[in-house]
Amino acid sequence: MNIDILTVLPELLESPFSHSILKRAKEKELLTIRVHHLRQWAVNEYGQVDDYQYGGGAGMVMMPEPLANAIEALSGEVLARGRKYDEIIYMTPDGDRLNQKIANTLSLKENLLIICGHYKGIDQRIREQYVTREISIGDYVLSGGELAAAVLTDAIGRLIPGVLNDETSALFDSFQDNLLAPPVYTRPADFRGAKVPEVLLSGDPKKIGDWRHDQSLSHTRERRPDLLDNEE
Ligand code: 6GU
Of all protein residues, the one whose alpha carbon is nearest to atom 5 of ligand 1 is 142
Rounded (5°) CA angle 197-200-203: 145
* CA-atom Rg of the chain in angstroms: 22
Q: 197 alpha carbon to ligand 1 midpoint, in Å?
A: 40
In which band, very low, low, confident or very high, does the pLDDT at 176 lie, cut at 50, 70 and 90? confident
Cβ–Cβ under 8 Å, residues 157 and 109: no
Question: For 56-109, how does the pLDDT look when each residue is reduced to its tens digit (9 = 90+)?
Answer: 999 999 999 999 999 999 999 999 999 999 999 999 999 999 999 999 999 999
Ligand 1 atom closest to Cα of residue 139: 10
- Give the predicted TM-score (pTM) of the model: 0.93
Q: Which of 122, 141, 151, 154 to mutate to test the pocket of ligand 1 (most atoms within 8 A of CB)?
A: 141
Question: Does residue 182 register a pLDDT over 80?
Answer: yes
In which band, very low, low, confident or very high, does the pLDDT at 231 lie, cut at 50, 70 and 90? low
Question: For 183-213, how does the pLDDT look when each residue is reduced to its tens digit (9 = 90+)?
Answer: 999 999 999 999 999 999 999 999 999 999 9
- Mean of all residue pLDDT scores within the chain: 94
Ligand 1 first shell, C-beta below 6 A: 91-93, 136-138, 140-142, 144-145, 148
Question: Does residue 120 register a pLDDT over 80?
Answer: yes
In which band, very low, low, confident or very high, does the pLDDT at 177 lie, cut at 50, 70 and 90? confident
Of all protein residues, the one whose alpha carbon is nearest to atom 7 of ligand 1 is 93
Q: What's residue 31's pLDDT? A: 96
Rounded (5°) CA angle 52-53-55: 130
Strand spans (E) along 139-216: 190-191, 194-195
